[in-house]
Amino acid sequence: MDFTRLVTVETWDPDFLARSPMFEPLRVHAAAFPASWPELADLQRLLGQRSPPVLTASGMPLIVVAQGRKAASLEDRYEARIHLKGALQMRSRNWHDQSL
Protein backbone atom coordinates (compact mmCIF):
# COMPACT_ATOMS: atom_id res chain seq x y z
CA MET A 1 0.00 0.00 0.00
CA ASP A 2 1.29 3.48 -0.90
CA PHE A 3 0.78 5.50 2.29
CA THR A 4 2.00 8.72 0.64
CA ARG A 5 -1.29 8.92 -1.27
CA LEU A 6 -3.61 8.56 1.72
CA VAL A 7 -5.57 11.72 2.42
CA THR A 8 -7.21 12.42 5.73
CA VAL A 9 -10.34 14.52 5.49
CA GLU A 10 -10.85 16.41 8.69
CA THR A 11 -14.23 17.82 9.62
CA TRP A 12 -14.55 21.45 10.68
CA ASP A 13 -16.21 22.01 14.05
CA PRO A 14 -17.48 25.61 14.18
CA ASP A 15 -18.05 25.26 17.94
CA PHE A 16 -14.47 24.27 18.74
CA LEU A 17 -13.87 27.43 20.78
CA ALA A 18 -16.51 26.33 23.31
CA ARG A 19 -15.00 22.87 23.79
CA SER A 20 -12.01 23.76 25.95
CA PRO A 21 -11.09 26.41 28.53
CA MET A 22 -7.80 26.70 26.64
CA PHE A 23 -9.66 28.68 23.95
CA GLU A 24 -11.23 31.20 26.35
CA PRO A 25 -9.10 34.14 25.08
CA LEU A 26 -10.22 33.40 21.50
CA ARG A 27 -13.97 33.17 22.15
CA VAL A 28 -14.49 36.88 21.45
CA HIS A 29 -13.46 36.04 17.87
CA ALA A 30 -15.90 33.14 17.43
CA ALA A 31 -18.17 35.10 15.07
CA ALA A 32 -15.22 35.63 12.71
CA PHE A 33 -14.88 31.89 12.11
CA PRO A 34 -17.08 30.61 9.28
CA ALA A 35 -19.24 27.51 9.28
CA SER A 36 -16.56 25.74 7.24
CA TRP A 37 -12.76 25.63 7.35
CA PRO A 38 -11.25 29.11 7.32
CA GLU A 39 -8.78 29.75 4.55
CA LEU A 40 -5.27 30.90 5.44
CA ALA A 41 -6.22 34.34 4.09
CA ASP A 42 -9.09 34.46 6.61
CA LEU A 43 -6.67 33.78 9.46
CA GLN A 44 -4.26 36.41 8.13
CA ARG A 45 -7.13 38.90 7.96
CA LEU A 46 -7.89 38.26 11.64
CA LEU A 47 -4.23 38.80 12.51
CA GLY A 48 -4.18 41.97 10.41
CA GLN A 49 -7.07 43.42 12.40
CA ARG A 50 -5.15 43.20 15.68
CA SER A 51 -4.01 46.42 17.26
CA PRO A 52 -1.32 46.26 18.38
CA PRO A 53 -0.20 43.64 15.86
CA VAL A 54 0.93 40.19 16.96
CA LEU A 55 4.74 40.19 16.96
CA THR A 56 7.28 37.41 17.33
CA ALA A 57 9.93 37.53 20.06
CA SER A 58 12.26 39.08 17.47
CA GLY A 59 9.75 41.87 16.76
CA MET A 60 8.57 40.61 13.36
CA PRO A 61 4.84 40.88 12.59
CA LEU A 62 3.28 37.41 12.50
CA ILE A 63 2.00 36.37 9.06
CA VAL A 64 0.25 33.17 7.99
CA VAL A 65 1.82 31.36 5.04
CA ALA A 66 1.13 28.02 3.41
CA GLN A 67 3.39 25.19 4.48
CA GLY A 68 6.18 24.69 1.98
CA ARG A 69 8.58 21.88 1.29
CA LYS A 70 10.91 20.55 3.92
CA ALA A 71 13.45 23.21 4.82
CA ALA A 72 16.91 22.83 3.36
CA SER A 73 18.56 25.42 5.59
CA LEU A 74 18.40 26.09 9.31
CA GLU A 75 16.93 29.56 8.67
CA ASP A 76 13.96 28.07 6.84
CA ARG A 77 12.98 25.53 9.49
CA TYR A 78 9.64 26.02 11.22
CA GLU A 79 10.68 27.79 14.44
CA ALA A 80 13.55 29.74 12.87
CA ARG A 81 11.31 30.99 10.08
CA ILE A 82 8.80 32.30 12.60
CA HIS A 83 11.52 34.03 14.61
CA LEU A 84 13.48 35.47 11.68
CA LYS A 85 10.67 36.27 9.23
CA GLY A 86 7.45 36.16 11.24
CA ALA A 87 6.19 33.48 8.82
CA LEU A 88 3.89 30.97 10.52
CA GLN A 89 3.57 28.00 8.16
CA MET A 90 0.17 26.35 8.27
CA ARG A 91 -1.56 23.52 6.45
CA SER A 92 -5.07 24.09 5.18
CA ARG A 93 -7.91 22.13 6.73
CA ASN A 94 -5.80 20.72 9.54
CA TRP A 95 -6.77 20.90 13.21
CA HIS A 96 -3.18 20.78 14.38
CA ASP A 97 -2.37 24.00 12.53
CA GLN A 98 -5.74 25.74 12.80
CA SER A 99 -5.64 26.13 16.56
CA LEU A 100 -4.28 29.61 16.14
Q: pLDDT at position 85, please?
A: 94
The answer to pTM > 0.75 is: no
3-state SS, residue 65 = strand
Could you list the pLDDT tens digit for every one of the 100 residues in the chain?
Answer: 554 555 556 788 878 888 889 888 878 877 777 777 888 898 899 889 889 999 999 999 999 999 888 888 888 898 999 999 999 998 887 776 654 4
Q: pLDDT at position 100, please?
A: 43
3-state SS, residue 66 = strand
Quote the number of domains for the chain. 1
| Distance separating alpha carbons of residues 89 and 97, to the nearest angstrom | 8
Backbone dihedral region of 86: left (phi > 0), alpha (psi from -120 to 50 degrees) or beta?
A: left
- Which range of residues forms the domain containing residue 62? 3-98
Residue 24 CB partners (closer than 8 Å, separation 6+): none
Q: pLDDT at position 80, please?
A: 93
